[in-house]
Structures are given as structure tokens and as C-alpha cells.
Structure 1
């Protein structure tokens, strides 16, 4: 479902892929060659969410802007970011070349630098600032050191895998396991009136 909210409509690049089973609401911009998989929810109803290029938002992720703690808090996600299944992001920003692991949680106003890995199930606390080239693990999240070159290679490999999937989804009109046709955008950027 793609819908406007309070006079703001999602803007989705023509080269992006958004599953029909995803939910995109309000003041959201999705960049070139990014993909949003089934059951992901991106709610730009309390602030703007900007997603860069080549970002993969996997199944069941939630990205939400603002909160009662920071009602005007926008979310900015850089380029080449892989957001794992079930991750919950209510953060301020994520740099580029970042992996957010499956079921990780980023709380209000957290900021993640470039070339970071947030481990599966890790919780980055409210207002926490993670510097560039950090590997974060645990609850509460702690910096375990820098990611290895091999770990960063896996980040880039995961992004490339999603670029391959994006091309396949856009090439074929696929019926999903629940009979839902995927929604993809060809041509000019999509914006609802």
C-alpha cells in the first residue's frame, strides 16, 4: 500500500522496486535502485524519511520518523545500505555502506556512521551516536571494534544480491505466495496526488 498522509505523498524513484505487500505512508522518498520487500512498513507521518540509492529494506522492517520525544525528527538513510529482516528503525540517520542486522532495533535519535555493521538483534540506544567503521553487538549495543574487511565485503555482497533481485522482480510480473502481484515502477518517479 502506498498512500499520502497529511498532504504529503511518497516519492519513489522510477528504478526502485516496492512490493505491493509493503506499506509506504506520507513524507517518504526512496532513491534509485532501492528495494522495499514484502511487509516492510515505512511511515513518514511524523517527519520525513529519505532513503538513498541501492538500499535494501528487507521483509518485516519498520522505519518510522519522529516520536513524542522528537516529534519533528526526520530519518535519513544513506546509499548502499542493507536493512535486515525484522529490523525496527526509529533513528535519526544511517550513513552509507551499512548493514543493519536482522531484528536489530535503533531507538529514537540514534545515528549510525558510514561503513558500520549493527549485529542481528542488537539494540542501539536512544541518542547513541555510532562513529564510522564500527561493529555494534548486544543489548544494549556496544561497539565491539571495527568491522573486518571480510564483514564489509559481505555488506557489499548483500547489496549486490539485492540489485540482482531488483532486476529480476522488475523483469517479471511475479505472483507472490499469497497471490499478490508485486508493484514496481517503470518510467517517471511515482508520486500520489
Structure 2
């Protein structure tokens, strides 16, 4: 795992330094702080903040965090010895300007544009939190469910076409991350 990325602020704190898999793409303008781990072929897009100063943020493989998103976590507290780390599985999609805080996004989970997921919430496998939705603390979305609204509530189950669309999005972001990394390698400084 590598921690050097041009144009990316890598900030160790409390003895913890972000770990980025060599195949992951992290765009310039991002800030990664503390105990952040980013898996193989994942991508974190322009101007995202991943702040793991009080707990940890773990991002699996082939997951993408799109432009302007904010990821954070919460520390342990009395009666809550584990706190609220942010755990994101493999092949997940997190839309532009999402706020994801101390929750769990299972493999192939989807967070829509501008959505919010709060502490101890769970976005299930192949589930989708709609654009602009707010998944409040402790709410659990089942597999293949679509939730929307503020606060978010189950709207319906997702069909096979929706699941296929999300998987195509994952593949697109893996390839697009490679293209952006190559473009940045050839871009002039300044």
C-alpha cells in the first residue's frame, strides 16, 4: 500500500496514517486523515474529505467515492465501546456530495447523489439509498431495497435491471479511475 499521491493531502494523526492500495485512484484535491484504508481498484474522486481522526474508515475493493463527498466516523463512548467506524464493502457506489458518517455500506451498496447516511445505519447488499435521502441513525436497509426521503423509508425492492445498472456503474468507475490516473500522470504541473 502506498500513501504518496500528488495533489492529495495525506495527514497522519494519533499515530495513524492513511493506507491506499497501489491500484486505487485518489484524485487531486482530496484530503485523507488518520486511519483510512482504501482497497484495490477503488477510487476517491476530486475534493473528497475522508477524516478518520477518531475511529477508522475502511473502503473495500472496486468501490468509488464520487466528487465532493464527506466521510467521517465517531469514537467510542460510554455504553458504546466500538464507536461508529465507517465500513464500506466491495463494489459500492457513493454518489457526488454524499455525507457518509459512521455507518456500514455492505458489498454493492449504493448511496445516491447528496444522500446522508448516519451513525450505525446499514445499507444492505445491492441496496440503494436514493439521491437526497437521509438514512437516520441505526436504520437498517435490507438487501436489494430502495429507500428514499428525509427521513428515508423503504420505497420498494430493486429489480434485476436496477442491480445490473449498479454493477455497470462499478465497472465504469474502475476503468475511469485508471483513465484519470493516466491523464494526471501526463498532465503538466501547475
**TM-score (structure 2 length as normaliser):** 0.88
Q: Which residue of 1 aligns with 2:35?
A: 27
> Which residue number in structure 1 is paired with residue 110 of structure 2?
99
Gaps of 5+ in 2: 1-8
Q: Give 1:160 deviation, angstroms.
A: 1.2
Shift of 1:107: 1.2
Q: Deviations over 1:58-93 (max 9, x none)?
A: 000011011687683211100001100000011321
Q: How many residues align?
A: 178
Tell whether the 8 Å contact from 1:104 to 1:119 is kept in structure 2 after alignment: yes
Determine whether 1:61 maps to 2:62. no
Of the structure 1 ranges 9-18 and 165-174, higher mean CA displacement relative to structure 2 is found in: 165-174
3-state SS, counterpart of residue 137 of structure 2: coil
**Residue 121, structure 1, aligned to residue 145, structure 2:** no
User: Aligned with 1:54: secondary structure?
Assistant: coil
Partner of 2:86: 75
Does structure 2 conserve the Cα–Cα contact (< 8 Å) formed by 1:46 and 1:67?
yes
Conservation of the 8 A alpha-carbon contact between 2:130 and 2:147: yes
TM-score, structure 1 normalization: 0.86
The structure whose RCO (Cα within 8 Å, separation 6+) is larger is: 1
Q: Which runs of 4+ in 1 moved over 4 A?
A: 67-71
Q: CA deviation at 1:54?
A: 0.3
The alignment status of 1:84 with 2:91, answered yes or no, reads no
Q: Are the structure 2 counterparts of residues 66 and 21 from structure 1 closer, same or farther at C-alpha, using a change threshold of 3 Å?
A: same
The structural deviation recorded for 1:171 is 2.3
What is the match of residue 6 of structure 2? none
Measured after TM superposition, the shift of residue 21 of structure 1 is 0.7
Q: 1:37 aligns with which of 45, 48, 62?
A: 45
Q: RMSD of aligned C-alpha atoms?
A: 1.8
